[in-house]
Amino acid sequence: MLNDPLVRAKYMLNKAGYDTADLQTLNNPALLRMELEEQMTMRLRYYNMEFTLQRLSVSPEQGDYHQVKENIVKLQFWQNIQQAI
């Protein structure tokens, strides 16, 4: 039971004399906004990478090697961001 970090943290707060009953209704708009922005950013990175992969697969078929080169640079960029995270 105390292997769960959330349960353990609540237990420690209770043990220290703090009430954890109000934690269920804790409303932190800044935290919620930050989480939503992070999810949006992750989704945008995924879609950008997928879009670049799609364009990379079509460009050579059309003989547009300048576009292939641009898409390779973009794909490397998105992969570097993914690895940095």
Instruction: State the pLDDT confidence band at 26, using cuts at 50, 70 and 90.
Output: low
| pLDDT attached to residue 47 | 92
CA 50/CA 71 separation, integer angstroms: 11
pTM here?
A: 0.55
Helices (H) and strands (E) in the chain, counts: 3, 0
**Structural domain span for residue 46:** 28-84
Residue 33 lies in a domain: yes
List the structure tokens of 5.
């970090």
Residue 4 lies in a domain: no
Residue 53 lies in a domain: yes
Residue 15 lies in a domain: no
List the structure tokens of 18.
């703090």
Structural domains counted in the chain? 1
Phi, psi of 19 (to 5 degrees): -80, 130
Residue 41 lies in a domain: yes
